[in-house]
Amino acid sequence: MPERTLFHIGFPSPSIASVQMRDWPALARHCEASGFDCMWHSNERFYREMWVRMTASIMVTEKMAIGGAVAEPFAVHPALTAQTLATASELSGGRTAVAMGAGGSGFPMMGVTRDRPATALREALTIMRGLLDGEVVTLEGDIICARNARLHFSPPSRVPLWVATRGDRTLQVGGELADGIMIATYADPEDVAQALLIVQKGAAKAIRSIDDIRTMARVDTCVHEDAQVALDGSRSMVAKLLWASYPDRRFVERVGLSVPNEIETVMATRDYDALHQVTHLIPDEFVAKFCWAGTPSDVAGRVASVLRETGVKEAGFWVLRAGGQTLHDSVSMVAKQVIPQARELLDEGRA
């Protein structure tokens, strides 16, 4: 477990859609120079490929961990994900990790069906952990099979497997099997605490302690000197969140909200390209519950509150660009203004 608070950075795919691969190394160097402990690479189909971007980041950084989030067990067999992850781990000298989840982006275009995601995730993690640990794996699962599968090389060190989720069943699976849990994307302490209770149930089922599992509050983050501009910059990401989780609305109900009918009607069409029609309809209270959006001091206060009140030791900023911002500006604002203020508030709380 980390002895100090760790700060991660990630980028939802729409935030980096304009970043060409020749410019990616500069972004990775900027994140490392800004002091982030880990840089996570999104995996939304069909944007620029996650593993290629991870490789580019590995090649130009020295200490910062390099993660991929989210990999899923439906479009790609988990044995192949384990193979790629182990290769990246060897290249990086043991600095890589991956977060598994239920996935969903691009599935309609590929004709892929997401079937019983908690079961699929449990089977995927079992297969991947065995392969990464050098075992020969056979599993006749309900959804995924592996037959005498093994890797012909070993990563230089144990590779962390995270689960990124907000769903009840998948949170429990993470508590049973994962090295770390990204709780995505609850922005308030009470909601993160409720998710941790579900993780704890899974850990108890596997006779584990939640204290042995890394926990991260991973939240879409938009920071601007004008709080309203930051709120507006977050609405499209909330719309994507609701689309990806449809029809599961338990995480929405848990925070005391319900999706407006006008928005839910569009979600039910499963037309990803139609999301722009309802982005402007996302209520402010949805942004407040699922994003850290506001001025630097606003966001720092919310981050410190989550970490202080829940005991979570890792915060993940999935950076969104407010109107008029460059991506580098967004990264710098989090690194130079939000994190120092959050650390100061945490130190005051401990004192």
pLDDT at 351: 61
Does a structural domain hold residue 1?
A: no
pTM score, two decimals?
A: 0.93
> What 3-state DSSP class applies to 119?
helix
- pLDDT (mean) for 259-273: 92
CA atoms in the 13 A half-sphere facing the CB of 255: 25
pLDDT at 126: 98
pLDDT at 108: 83
CATH number, domain with residue 190? 3.20.20.30
Does a structural domain hold residue 203?
A: yes
Lookup: tokens for 320: 């969104």
Rg (CA), the chain: 19
Q: How many residues does the chain have?
A: 351
Q: Which of 80, 167, 63, 74 is nearest to 114 (CA)?
A: 74
Whether the pLDDT of residue 35 is over 90: the answer is yes
pLDDT at 85: 98
Q: Residue 270 — pLDDT band, cuts 50, 70, 90?
A: confident
Q: Which of 131, 97, 101, 138 is nearest to 118 (CA)?
A: 101
> What 3-state DSSP class applies to 292?
strand
Q: Distance (Å, rounded) from C-alpha 41 to C-alpha 51?
A: 8
- pLDDT (mean) for 165-192: 94
Q: Residue 273 — pLDDT band, cuts 50, 70, 90?
A: confident
Q: Residue 292 — pLDDT band, cuts 50, 70, 90?
A: very high
Query: Taking a C-beta distance cutoff of 8 angstroms, is the pair 65, 54 a contact?
Result: no
The per-residue pLDDT for range 86-138, each reduced to its tens digit, is 999 999 999 999 999 988 888 888 999 889 999 999 999 999 999 999 999 99
Q: Provide CB contacts within 8 A for 121, sequence distance 6+.
A: 73, 100, 101, 102, 163, 170, 173
Q: Which of 193, 175, 206, 191 is nearest to 312 (CA)?
A: 193
User: What b/e readout covers 211-224, taking b as 16+ CB neighbours within 10 angstroms?
Assistant: eebbbbbbbbbbbb
Lookup: tokens for 284: 């402010």
Query: Taking a C-beta distance cutoff of 8 angstroms, is the pair 36, 342 a contact?
Result: no
Q: Provide CB contacts within 8 A for 330, sequence distance 6+.
A: 15, 222, 223, 319, 320, 321, 322
Q: How many domains does the chain have?
A: 1
Does a structural domain hold residue 244?
A: yes
Other beta carbons within 10 angstroms of residue 146's beta carbon come to 23
Does a structural domain hold residue 39?
A: yes
Q: Parallel, antiparallel, or unpaired for β 314-319 and 214-223?
A: parallel
Other beta carbons within 10 angstroms of residue 126's beta carbon come to 18
Whether the pLDDT of residue 267 is over 70: the answer is yes
Does a structural domain hold residue 220?
A: yes
Domain extent, residue 31, equals 6-350
Does a structural domain hold residue 175?
A: yes
Does a structural domain hold residue 258?
A: yes
